[in-house]
A and B are shown apart, each in its own frame.
Chain A
Amino acid sequence: MKIYLPLDSAAVALGADEIAESLLFQAKARGINLTLVRNGSRGMVWLEPMAEVVTDAGRMAFGPLTLADVPALFGDLTAHPKALGLTDDLPWMKSQTRLTFARVGVIDPLSLGDYKAHGGLAGLTLALGMDKTAIVAEVTNSGLRGRGGAGFPTGIKWKTVSDAVADRKYIVCNADEGDSATFADRMLMEGDPFTLIEGMVIAGLATGATKGFVYIRSEYPIAVDVMQKAVKIATDAGVLGTSVLGSAHTFNIEIRVGAGAYVCGEETSLLNSLEGKRGVVRAKPPLPALQGFMAKPTVVNNVISLASVPVIFEKGAEFYKNFGLGRSRGTIPLQIAGNVKYGGLYEIAFGLTLAEIVDKIAGGSASGRPVKSVQVGGPLGAYFPRALFDTPFGYEEFAGKDGLIGHAGLTVFDDSADMLKQARFAMEFCAIESCGKCTPCRIGAVRGVETVDRIAKGDTSAIPLLTDLCNTMKAGSLCALGGFTPYPVMSALTHFPDDFAPMKEAAE
């Protein structure tokens, strides 16, 4: 008997380890030879912990499981109270286009054999037969843009590093996924770590870099553990090392762990942290592509950007590019979070409207109350009101509505949310996490909290002051922390003026 049960953090946080222990114990008691594979999550977090039992018809899903549901998994499966049917037939799975996440939840994350059997290393094998210029051209032609949030074309960044002359170059994977509502990097690293490794090796071939770092936040202990094991396995198998898949190319990867600083998700701050310094933002230029880690040419890419590279090589740039809308090409793993009925990861071509995501895919709020707003793109993203729910999911489309898609995380709030409180939190968070280098962010965020507090007390004269402060932060900050904190603040103020009105307290 073979059962898959996720090792994914969300599944574990909902009791997967206890279910695993019980499964093994009960199988033994029944004399059943059970193979338990701890896989990644399929992304249906509301069904976690979700076990899949391998049957002749396919993998059958059961969830959300409690310990009381375990014994029946050894009986008549169709009669199990938590039976969901075949995993592949579930509506959430069927309507997606899983390219980057094709293997997540399907394979054993730490089995290189399983990885290869599902198309793994096909992209790298092809890339090994190409020269640097052709590899960069393939990525450029795919239209892939930085999935970390900035949306910078990945191929152009690679070309800059590739053309730079230096004795050493580096590939740095930014896995400091600190934005609330985002967990795609975590799920990818926990569920299909070899994809990230493969993407990084291809980036190395394209640029001439021979060393890679994955900088993972300390809040992701399971991802750190899986990645460390995967790097060891890949090194032992010759995917990494001095002869990548038997070629003349060298590429090694080291896993590094952050230390709880949100700002280290910003690339220059991350590089300082990686060098063993305070995570203070650097002024640009020089670009990290020319003077990055240890002042050497460095590609800094997000997990999802790098993990999307193997499929681009396996299926071709044209194939990838044919998904999406406008200048947002390919697929995007939406992370649906907060107050939603169906939360989790949903990979689809760019272009769905917010309404389709929130009302159809997410099924509305978990509380059953009306949805008031959606914050898109993490703590630095704008709060969208229902009036803007017709906005299609794309980089330019969101920028056009004074928002951003960021790392594609969506936090849904019901009508109990107080948008003034959310604006205050945005400023408070910026004050806590500011690296302190530039004044608009360091001082502005503190003054921002005070100014929102004045508005909360009924001082409407503070509203223009808050607007002015936001303009200063936006124009004068060195990086996106101070520069984008105005997005949640101003969107809350603009779209939900009632929450900032002096009548508020009296009404309550």
Chain B
Amino acid sequence: MNTADFDFLAGTLKERSGLMLTPDKVYLLESRLTPLARKRGLDTLDALVQKLRMKTDQTLLKDVTEAMTTNESFFFRDNTPFDLFKNHVLPAMEKARGTQKRLRIWCAAASTGQEPYSLAILLKEAGIKYSNWNIEIVGTDICTQVLEKAKAGKYSQFEVQRGLPIQLLIKYFTQEGDVWQLSDDIRNMVKFRPFNLLDNFAALGTFDVIYCRNVLIYFDQKTKGQVLDRMRKVLASDGTLFLGAAETVLGITDSFKPVKGQRGMYVPSDGTAEQLMGLG
């Protein structure tokens, strides 16, 4: 791929999804977009870029964006963010929301659904305690294709083995040939909707917990800061934000501060979440 084509694709992707594509990722463009070009009846990647430049086909732009956004996901990925949720966030919310009995959780890069479903399973496992609570888990992703898969709750043998303890597989899945189907009672706990993190958050409402893991790494510093500042505005002042293990707010925004000793866990700088969780 020539430099002009690469710059064009990188620029288009940045504008549309915030995705930062450095020249060392040219292999990613080739490996992900070549199958798409073929599917569209185009012989080469060059032909695809040319068609994109003509800007006549909006669905092509959408397909390119979807193909380039990373969608790898595991159940209970990295364990820690789920342990922290169970051991600190939930008990704190039980105290703070004990009267309203209402909890809203946002998984901002839900991909194929493993993260929101892991939280749903975790809440289900916590049992009767939350059975009379109104708990809403919202899973969003820029890619509608992965959300369709998420909604269906159908996973391959490989996918159900990455992070899902066998006891939970037995309890919450049924086997349909090669496919493992997640049970309806877990699926019904999560609402999925397409959403671009560059868009206005207001329509989503406010949340008590936000999971936004391994997505900011694809944005430049300025975009990261803007997204985090806007997340602060839709998060309760005693709420919690989880970022990926390799991500941070330090040097990017003052809206959040890290919780000491708890990797990936952040709270509003002006909030009360740490005291509430006994981590202050």
- Binding between chains A and B: no
